[in-house]
Amino acid sequence: MRSGGTVTLTRKEYDALIDRIEEADDRADFARHSQIPKERMLPMEAAGRILNGAHPLRVWREHRGLTTTALADAAGLARSYLTEIETGRKPGSVAAYRALADALEVTVDDLLPDA
């Protein structure tokens, strides 16, 4: 076990150490994200739509190739309610989001718009 004290590094040694730490962080991030099932990943175009303000629920529904009627039926919801959630006219209940997430095979967090 090492005791306290001061360590002096050259700028070159310090920069090399920081580079190694950042590389290790990048590898850890990649490993964590590469464990996400492929069916929970969106293509860049779809992710960009969400970043530009599209409701994630609509993006995921369209990515899965479902109509509002098909998704509403699969989730046990009224099509009109689904449409109101996607258009932002209603926030959607927790139960509705759970049912929609199950039907789309994603997590509830994947469907929630950023506040």
CATH of the domain at 87: 1.10.260.40
pTM for this predicted structure: 0.67
Residue 4 lies in a domain: no
Number of domains into which the chain is organized = 1
pLDDT tens figures, 76-96:
999 999 999 999 999 999 999
What's the rounded Cα separation, in Å, for the pair 31 and 28?
5
- 49, 86 in Cβ contact below 8 A? no
Residue 13 lies in a domain: no
Mean pLDDT of the chain: 90
Residue 2 lies in a domain: no
Residue 73 lies in a domain: yes
What range defines the domain where residue 62 resides?
41-111
Residue 80 lies in a domain: yes
